[in-house]
């Protein structure tokens, strides 16, 4: 894969000054936007697939082509892995590139809607991966970042171990700040080199010379 990805540029050099007000408002006022039928259908498909299994559940939100979901399914064969992505085009590439293990299901859905349905149903994932999302680097786009989005309390409510990776350090630091405002601790560290890439974005960013960052947080404490 060629390394032609540009580093993130932003007009924001520090955590957003409206972060605390935005997170506080979302924590105080539940998000009541209507849920889309396609998200309900995807969630029902996931419920049917899981059945009455008591295996640990892994969510891979924004899984793209499913590369990370497949690797997680191989790494944790005792778990069930749900790969979520809103792009049918990206998901359609998965079977042609990777054999899909029996413990992995890829679903087309909007993550925000799926998270709300999962939390309402009492799902408690063991691990939740959010790998290389679009960071929305302009300061005006704070509310499009997961920690500034009204779905943030539902992400917290799912619990489990959150693992987020990004090529924009400020994004990870801001997420850690939002988690702290909600009473959760997170660690942010540079991702060590030499590890096999887990997503197409990670491979492309490495080849482009980007420094990569990982946030890990236990949302149950």
For 161-207, what is each residue's pLDDT tens digit? 999 999 999 999 999 999 999 999 999 999 988 888 999 999 999 99
Task: Please report, to the nearest 10 degrees, the dihedral formed by the alpha carbons of residues 218, 167, 148, 108 taken in order.
Answer: -80
Question: E-strand spans in the chain?
Answer: 57-61, 80-85, 104-108, 127-131, 161-166, 186-190, 213-218
> What's the confidence (pLDDT) of residue 115?
98
Which pLDDT band holds residue 113 (cuts at 50, 70, 90)?
very high
| Contact assessment for residue 170 and residue 136, using Cβ atoms and an 8 Å cutoff | no
Mean pLDDT of the chain: 94
User: Distance between CA 42 and CA 30 in Å, rounded?
Assistant: 23
State residue 2's pLDDT score: 55
| Lowest mean pLDDT across 60-69, 78-87, 89-98, 121-130 | 89-98
Domains of the chain: 19-29+54-218 (3.40.50.150)
pLDDT at 16: 95
Contacts of 63 (CB under 8 A, 6+ apart): 69, 83, 84, 85, 91, 106, 131
Q: What is the C-alpha to C-alpha distance for residues 3 and 18, in angstroms, rounded to an integer?
A: 34
Q: 178, 19 in Cβ contact below 8 A?
A: yes
- Per-residue pLDDT tens over the stretch 114-148: 999 999 999 999 999 999 977 899 999 999 999 99
Q: Which residues contact 193 (CB under 8 A, 6 or more apart)?
A: 206
pTM: 0.95
The pLDDT value given to residue 183? 97
């Amino acid at each position: 894969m060629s390394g032609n990805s540009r580093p993130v540029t932003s007009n924001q050099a520090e955590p957003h000054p409206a972060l605390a007000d935005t997170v506080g408002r979302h924590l105080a006022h539940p998000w009541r936007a209507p849920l889309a039928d396609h998200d309900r259908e995807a969630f029902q498909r996931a419920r049917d697939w899981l059945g009455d299994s008591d295996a640990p559940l892994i969510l891979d939100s924004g899984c793209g082509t499913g590369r990370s979901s497949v690797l997680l399914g191989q790494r944790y064969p005792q778990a069930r892995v749900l790969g979520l992505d809103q792009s049918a085009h990206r998901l359609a590439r998965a079977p042609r590139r990777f054999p899909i293990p029996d413990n992995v299901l890829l679903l087309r859905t909007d993550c925000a809607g799926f998270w709300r349905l999962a939390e309402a149903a009492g799902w408690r994932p063991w691990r939740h991966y959010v790998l290389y999302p679009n960071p929305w680097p302009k300061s005006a786009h704070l509310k499009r970042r997961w920690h500034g989005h009204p779905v943030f309390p539902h992400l917290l409510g799912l619990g489990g171990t959150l693992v987020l990776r990004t090529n924009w350090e400020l994004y990870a630091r801001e997420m850690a700040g939002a988690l702290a405002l909600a009473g959760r601790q997170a660690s942010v560290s540079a991702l060590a080199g030499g590890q096999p890439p887990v997503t197409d974005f990670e491979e492309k960013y490495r080849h482009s010379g980007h420094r990569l960052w990982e946030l890990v947080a236990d949302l149950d404490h």
